Amino acid sequence: MSVPVPRRPIKSRSRLTDAIFVFDTAVMRRLALLLWLALPALADNEALIERLRPQFGPRLQCAAAYSSYADGRPRLVIAGVVDDVEDRPDEESDVLLLRLPDRAKGTAAVVDTYRLDTRPCGIWFTKLIDARDIVVVRYTRHPPHDLVLRITGGKLVEILDDFTCSEGLACPTPDLNGDGVPEVISSGYIGGSACGGAERYFQVSWWNGRRFVADDRRLIAGVSVSAGEKDAVDSQVSVRDPPLDATNVRCIVRLYRNRGVRRVRISIDGKEVKPGHWLRIPDGCHTMTLRAWGTKGAVAYAFLERERQ
């Protein structure tokens, strides 16, 4: 006669646990969808790498077709080739612009070379200035921290050296100043925040006609919201710097709004603040809140800049 094994009582999950479960499930579904959509491109890249392998051998790390012939065969190709086959992440390498003949086999002609100071991990394309700007995924400890090139006059030209967007995800490249050219918003992990969670940096890069150049503002928080959203959007702000006196912490809110945003409300700890005016914020943890009204879908962006000492 078997003895029933006592079952451990199941504790009811908290709302936080339920929220984390729902979030993780949504993320996994999104990643699965992105992987499914990327499968044809991955297959094409594998076929392209196999075609280039006899010419470059094991030094070839990645490749992607930039343009194609009318019959669909790749014409211009971007490839990442390391100097040595040893697995060293800091190994120098080349990004190559290749031109393939319009046939199943044949040697690729090297049109141009861009020297890279680390190992390339992948290549994909995005639209910043041209329809297909080239993102070179670099090996870093805390990715992404990638390079963006464009083809100008048959040459590979660097236009951005700190691109923190991942392939398949929406990239924060809004037109903040309304000149028709997108700006690039970069953010990255700094470390653990005294206010809980992670502390991040924000950086805005602007097009100067040749490349994107980051401004020297010290942005400690950023938030965006679409007009018509029912709820406001919050951003946790950690204003902590032990060498500074709390009375010395001066900040300013920088506001950018897309066409269609008629009105915004920015508050810090529930108190409304005006953008473009310096204010003093005590040392500690705070919450910046942004809400927008106007044409549905129009987006407003707010950054909290801290005065440099």
CATH number where 283 lies: 2.60.120
Are 164 and 178 found together in one domain?
A: no
**74/79 Cα distance (integer angstroms):** 12
Per-residue model confidence as pLDDT tens digits over 112-170: 999 998 888 899 999 999 999 999 998 876 656 799 999 999 999 999 998 888 766 66
pLDDT of residue 246: 47
- Helix or strand (DSSP H, E) at 42: helix 15-56
Look at residue 196 and tell me whether its pLDDT is greater than 80. no
Task: Among 83-87, 236-240, 303-307, name the most confident range.
Answer: 303-307
Are 71 and 163 found together in one domain?
A: yes
Please, which pLDDT band fits residue 6 given cuts at 50, 70 and 90?
very low
Q: Please give the angle made by the CA atoms of 87, 89 and 92, to the nearest 5 degrees.
A: 95
Average pLDDT over residues 88-110: 89
Are 246 and 162 found together in one domain?
A: no
**183/179 Cα distance (integer angstroms):** 10
Beta bridge partners of 186: 203
Q: Please give the angle made by the CA atoms of 246, 251 and 253, to the nearest 5 degrees.
A: 150
> Which domain-ending residue is among 168, 199, 225?
168
DSSP string covering 186-208, please?
Answer: EEEEEEE-TTSSEEEEEEEEEE-
Are 161 and 142 found together in one domain?
A: yes
> Which domain-ending residue is among 168, 203, 231?
168
Are 160 and 246 found together in one domain?
A: no
Are 189 and 229 found together in one domain?
A: yes
pLDDT of residue 306: 87
**Residue at 15 is within a domain:** no
**96/115 Cα distance (integer angstroms):** 9
Token pair recorded at residue 3: 């003895």
Mean residue pLDDT of the chain comes to 79
Query: What region does 239 belong to: left with phi over 0, alpha with psi -120 to 50, or beta?
Result: beta
Say if residues 305 and 220 touch (Cβ distance below 8 Å): yes
Over pLDDT 90: what percentage of the chain?
42
Please, which pLDDT band fits residue 216 given cuts at 50, 70 and 90?
confident
Q: What is the pTM of this model?
A: 0.75
Are 291 and 182 found together in one domain?
A: yes
> Structurally, how many domains does the chain consist of?
2
Domain hosting residue 196, numbered range:
172-309
192 vs 37: which has the higher pLDDT: 192
Per-residue model confidence as pLDDT tens digits over 252-294: 999 998 888 999 999 988 899 999 999 888 877 888 889 999 9
Token pair recorded at residue 44: 């094409």
- Sign for the CA dihedral angle at 77, 118, 199, 148 comes to negative
Over pLDDT 70: what percentage of the chain?
72
pLDDT of residue 144: 64
Per-residue model confidence as pLDDT tens digits over 19-55: 323 333 433 444 444 444 344 444 557 889 999 999 9
> Which domain-ending residue is among 168, 186, 217?
168
Look at residue 242 and tell me whether its pLDDT is greater than 70. no
**226/243 Cα distance (integer angstroms):** 37
